[in-house]
Structure 1
Amino acid sequence: MDTKRLILFIALSFGILFFWQKWMEERYPQIKAPAATASATSGTTTTPKAAPGQAPQDAGRLQRGQRITVKTDLFNAEIDTNGADLRRVELLKHGKLDDAKKPFTLLQDEGEHIYVAQTGLIGEGLPTHKSIFTSAQTAYQLADGQKEVSVRLEAAGPDGVKIAKVYTFKRDSYLIDVKYELVNGSAKPLNTSAYYRLLRDGKTPEGGGGYMGATTFTGPAVYTDKKKFQKVEFSKLDKGEADYEQAAKDGWVAMLQHYFASAWIVSPTGLPAVSGTNGVRYELKKLPDGLYSAGVIVDLPTIAANAKYESSMPLFVGPEETRVLNTVSTGFDLIKDYGIFTIFSKPIFAVLDFIHKMVGNWGWSIILLTMLIKAMFFPLAAASYRSMAKMRKLAPRMEQLKAKHGDDKMKFQQAVMEMYKTEKVNPLGGCLPMLVQIPVFIALYWALLASVELRQAPWIFWITDLSVKDPYYVLPVLMTISMYIQTSLSPPPPDPMQAKMMKIMPLMFSVFFFFFPAGLVLYWVVNNVISIAQQWYITRQIENADDDKTVKLTKA
């Protein structure tokens, strides 16, 4: 009976993962960027005019100007004088998928992937993301002991209006302050709006597919106090079916992918939403040449003649680390995608993170978390193991009943149930602990899938990245052995064919685990080892208690 429950448990686990994958594929279909239009390939571009109050439209390739390099403790960044765009960002604390020694590139405008941050002003003659800016230097670096470094780029406007865009990079922060300084040198009031957007193609980044086909979300997202967290698939932008709150004075707009994100923050944590404005509008749209835009437009107050005005908007570019996300803005932690298992995954990761703060190693943290979970559910496990121990003792009597009733399965089942009733054995007593472990198992799967903290995190020896499969398959083999031992401790099925199947079942199901992340397999190995120890201990207790009863009856 126990082996049947084991099969049911594993089948349910993988069944849930399989149907989750199919559901994700239907809900979040992967978008392939269409081929460039003829105008782009021929070297000529046409730029559609924007409607009043909207950011300028785009067509063709991004134009390249002079590059301004910035190096901090967290970034290698490049700003292009064409539009003063942030065109490239390498994250120095996170390695590439195929070479952990090289920094991971999040924003880029070269090669097959386009993903940049742009800003501009709306109004006749005012600089947009296509205007040419100038900078006093071509290279900036955050020096030792320096808290921040600023990059100032300037452009001329109409009638004596002067504009400067200032990027401020701060030590140990993935937030970049982007500020506009406007000096109205004209003789009349100036009315304008500033737009801030993230521009990228619809390609899923390398390594963004998850494990066993489970797909993580890639695309734009908006958060406002009224409608909360709103993901918008690229496919909905293609069809013009995007549903999100467009006018709000708070929140943020982001581009999400597996492990990493970028976002314009309208209302940073601890600060009021963008103040002194006439309005804030979010804008998600599809652009020509397979590009998509996620941005926000801020209507600035009227700037009087000879007056100066400053407007800032923080830009987040970095990993989806929980400790970082919680400090950025309200609801920003929601970009860490645990899927529909958030209710389980989020607290599990919180406990795992708490343990990690004490031990400093994610592998040992997973082991300690497993021990904690097993301790919490030990009363249920003990009841299950007692039930299995009693059923194991009843196995010889079950064989006798089977021989007695022959092929009459109805009478055999009735006799077995009567025996269970007489001996006060619940044949379903071992199910509850396994049912409890299903959400824990899947929740941990998604916690590991979503947590960039475990990306390229080593444990010991050959395990240098807990978020990918064991390169030498040692942990899956250990898991197979532990499953076989567990099966041996369980009551054998009365059917010889079933008994043979149960012996090879651990090998059959363990094949799936050969492709799971090492951190998840580590959890399962430790879980099995502790379960074996608990089951052996409780079985010995019951056997010793029965021996004591036998001795007392003999003496009597």
Structure 2
Amino acid sequence: KNLDEEPVKTTQEGGWIAMVQHYFLSAWIPDNTQTNTYSSSYLKNSNQHILRFVSPTKVVDGNSEDIFYAEFYAGPKDQSQLEAISPGLNMTVDYGWLWFVAQPIFALLIFLQSGHISIFGNEFDIGFGVGNWGVAIILLTLVIKSLFFKLSASSYKSMAKMRKVAPEMQRLRENYKNDKQKQQMEMMKLFQREKINPLGGCLPMLVQTPVFISLYYVLLESVELRQVPFFGWIQDLSVMDPYFVLPLLMGASMFLQMRLNPTPADPTQAQVMKWMPAIFTVFMLWFPAGLTLYWLTNNVLGIAQQWIITRRIEAED
């Protein structure tokens, strides 16, 4: 919310005021059993904002005493600790507009790493976790991949069939090279006859895009993942790989995966797909190592699944 144009003015039970600095925050938490008034103002001349809360007035008679209670917290944005201090204080960990995807991903990562999980305020501990955040990310990828297994299998089957009918597609392009409309009609008939979805190869990536974005925010915003090692040279999964090993491996896996896909009919699209692994490799050089590890693991699992499905369909011929 833009506090310059829309100052805060609200009254509610409990509540808090916090100042955030990435992994850390300081917060004033008044007595959550009383109704407090929260407001803000903007000092234009000094370009400063003032946030305040006012608790109910208490009248203390002479020769008597009363207690005025407020709590101050300064420390890391540990979500379980913040939630215990005041309801909603854990929302200072900003996972962006996909927070409803990021929160379950974070909870699952915690569970895989430590064996601890919180469900609707109830704490459960199985007493076993892998103890390594990098391994937890690999296991998380396995879980997500299994959830999308059928969708991926359908997509890979479609791409395998596209490779199978590639000679016939080329024949149609040559026969109707002067009649693009007729060419498209014949192509659609071919796809319908062979039960091929020409856009099927895009579906797994599109569906997993929210997961990828959410994991990015989890790695970037969660103090629990700050400065945690994987193995060897990777001593912090929340920052880039210092030697670019994971991005290069990810690019190689993406190149291999592209080789398993049918060549696009459009020459321009074929060139774009050809350069895609290199572009994504450069793109991932500065991304958190944990995110690159997720993508690399996802690619390796996808290659294995696609190779098995392609060989199976070719064996049926």
**Structure 1 length as normaliser, TM-score?**
0.51
Over residues 408-451 of structure 1, what are the superposed CA-to-partner deviations in whole Å (9 max), with x where a residue is unaligned?
32222222112112222222333332221111111212222221
Question: Does residue 122 of structure 2 align to residue 379 of structure 1?
Answer: no
| Pairwise CA distance, 1:476 | 1.1
Is the deviation greater in 368-377 or in 300-309? 300-309
- Following superposition of structure 1 onto structure 2, how do residues 60-99 of structure 1 map, counting pairs within 5 Å? none
Matches within 5 A, 1:166-181: none
Aligned residue in 2 for 1:296: 53
Query: Does the CA-based 8 Å contact 1:254-1:294 persist in structure 2?
Result: no
Q: Of 109, 122, 137, which aligns to 1:352? A: 109
Residue in structure 1 matching 2:171, options 400, 403, 409: 400
Q: CA deviation at 1:520?
A: 1.0
The reply on whether 1:280 has 2:36 as its aligned counterpart is yes
Task: Identify the range of structure 1 (383-392 vs 490-499) with the bigger mean alpha-carbon deviation.
Answer: 490-499
Cα distance in 2, alignment partners of residues 300 and 380 from structure 1? 60
Sequence identity (%):
48
Contact kept? 2:38, 2:54, Cα under 8 Å: yes
Deviations 1:28-51 (CA, angstroms, capped at 9, x unpaired):
xxxxxxxxxxxxxxxxxxxxxxxx
By how many angstroms is 1:310 displaced?
2.9
Structure 1 CA distance, aligned partners of 2:218 and 2:211? Answer: 10
Tell me the distance in 1 between the aligned counterparts of 2:142 and 2:9.
43
Q: How many residues align?
A: 302
AA paired with 1:243? V
Report the alpha carbon displacement of residue 266 of structure 1 after superposing the two structures with TM. Answer: 2.0
2:14 is the alignment partner of 1:258: no
Residue 466 of structure 1, CA deviation: 1.3
CA contact (8 A) 1:480 1:510 kept: yes
Q: What CA distance in whole angstroms lies between the structure 2 residues aligned with 1:360 and 1:434?
A: 29
Question: Which blocks of at least 5 consecutive residues in structure 2 are unaligned?
Answer: 115-128
CA shift, 1:400, in A, is 1.8
Judging changes above 3 Å, is the alpha-carbon distance between structure 1 residues 319 and 244 closer, same or farther for their aligned structure 2 residues?
farther
Distance 1:300 1:423, change over 3 A: closer
CA–CA distance in structure 2, aligned partners of residues 254 and 339 of structure 1: 18
Whether the 8 Å contact between 1:338 and 1:450 is mirrored in structure 2 is: yes
Give the corresponding residue for 1:243: 8
> Which of 449, 459, 467 pairs up with 2:220?
449
1:315 Cα shift?
1.0
What CA distance in whole angstroms lies between the structure 2 residues aligned with 1:482 and 1:317? Answer: 44
Paired with 2:95 and 2:13, the residues of 1 have a C-alpha distance of 28
What residue is the counterpart of 1:538 in the other structure?
309
Residues of 1 paired with 2:101 and 2:58: CA distance? 46
Residues 304 and 483 (structure 1 numbering): CA distance in 2 closer, same or farther, change over 3 Å? same
1:496 Cα deviation after fit:
4.8
Task: Find the aligned partners of 1:433 and 1:525 in 2 and give their Cα distance.
Answer: 15
Task: Output the CA distance in 1 between the equivalents of 2:226 and 2:148.
Answer: 29
The structural deviation recorded for 1:483 is 1.0
What residue in structure 1 maps to residue 88 of structure 2? Answer: 331
Pairing of 1:9-48 with structure 2 (within 5 A): none
- Relative contact order higher in (CA < 8 Å, ≥ 6 apart): 2
Tell me which protein shows more helix as a share of its residues: 2
Residues 252 and 267, structure 1, Cα contact 8 Å, conserved in 2: no
| Inter-partner Cα distance in structure 2 for 1:291 and 1:421 | 64
* 8 Å contact from structure 1 (residues 264, 295) kept in 2: no
TM-superposed CA distance for 1:470, in Å, is 1.3
**Post-superposition offset of 1:286:** 4.1
Which residue, out of 319, 335, 358, partners 2:76?
Answer: 319
Cα deviation code 1:52-83 (max 9, x no counterpart):
xxxxxxxxxxxxxxxxxxxxxxxxxxxxxxxx
Question: Is the contact made by 1:366 and 1:523 (CA closer than 8 Å) also made in structure 2?
Answer: yes
The farther-off stretch of 364-373 and 295-304 is: 295-304
* Cα shift at 1:306: 2.9
**Structure with greater strand percent:** 1
1:429-508 alignment runs, 5 A limit? 429-496=200-267, 498-508=269-279
TM-score by length of 2: 0.87
Q: Tell me if structure 2 keeps the 8 A contact 1:382–1:534.
A: yes
Equivalent-residue separation in structure 2 for 1:472 and 1:395 (angstroms): 40
RMSD: 2.1
Which residues in structure 2 correspond to 1:137-216 (within 5 Å)?
A: none
Shift of residue 522 of structure 1? 1.0
| Distance in 2 separating the partners of 1:267 and 1:389 | 63
Secondary structure of the equivalent of 2:240?
Answer: coil
Secondary structure in structure 2 of the residue aligned to 1:326: helix
Give the secondary-structure state (helix, strand or coil) at the position aligned to 2:85. Answer: coil
Pick closer, same or farther for the CA change 1:518–1:244 going to 2, 3 Å: farther
Distance 2:270 2:56 in 1: 73
